[in-house]
Amino acid sequence: MSGPGDADRAVVLLSGGLDSATALAIARDEGYRCFGLSVDYGQRHRHELDCARRVATAIGLEAHRVVSLDLSGFGGSTLFSGAVPKDEIEPTERGEIPSTYVPARNTVFLSLALGWAEVLGARAIVLGVNALDYSGYPDCRPEYLEAFQRLADLATRRGTQGQTIRIWAPLLRWTKAEIIRRGLELGVDYSLTSSCYDPDPEGVSCGRCDACRLRKRGFAETGRVDPLRYSE
């Protein structure tokens, strides 16, 4: 598969988790010059921002920005306050949206990335959302990304001039095991990442929240050892 060319730039939404680290590695492998964007939005698991910085250094970025935009004042998610669910049946199996969903989070993040992409002259925005092994968030679905692509085409100078900024989710239809396998092929060091919604003060993953369970299952299906420490 031919890459987009060494001169092309991409803004990568980098959370510090397994998926976004893999998406960054894929974008680099495709030839993009990558600019990382992380958001400190008041999340309880701010340890992921330290992980994002480590991933940015290890994989390599042209630049890495951490934007502070506190969404916790709105509430509406256990990623801000309340108890993060542990050891539950996956919300997708119940047909529910989990309490860890943050209202409009991906719309806010993509809007920030879109603004920076226009300034950089970037041709793509890369994000690690996934519609198979995920927690059931509405803003991780293919139809959501298609709708945001239409918005990006309409709402930007580049879009109105026929220069589309591609909204690219390379992991969208992959299982967690497939994501991990591809990341390992590309040399991603998953010990630098964190997937946990409720780590302890030292950043040790709980092992029981939905994100930890999906990650652990993905590694089990690959037959590889997850390099993270878990409290349980």
- Mean pLDDT across 30-47: 96
* pLDDT (tens digit per residue) in 166-218: 999 999 999 999 999 999 999 999 999 999 999 999 999 999 999 999 999 99
pLDDT for the residue 94 = 62
For residue 13, give its domain range: 9-222
Domain-embedded: residue 57: yes
* Cα separation, 31 vs 102, whole angstroms: 32
Domain-embedded: residue 163: yes
Domain-embedded: residue 2: no
pLDDT for the residue 186 = 97
Here the CATH number for the domain that contains residue 113 is 3.40.50.620
Confidence tier at 136 by pLDDT (50, 70, 90): confident
Domain-embedded: residue 37: yes
Domain-embedded: residue 33: yes
Domain-embedded: residue 229: no
221 Cβ neighbours under 8 A, 6+ residues apart: 175, 176, 177
Domain-embedded: residue 130: yes
Residue 3 pLDDT > 60: no
Confidence tier at 92 by pLDDT (50, 70, 90): low
Count: domains in the chain:
1
pLDDT for the residue 93 = 58
Using only C-alpha atoms, the chain has a radius of gyration, in whole angstroms, of 17
Domain-embedded: residue 227: no
Mean pLDDT, the chain, as a whole number?
Answer: 93
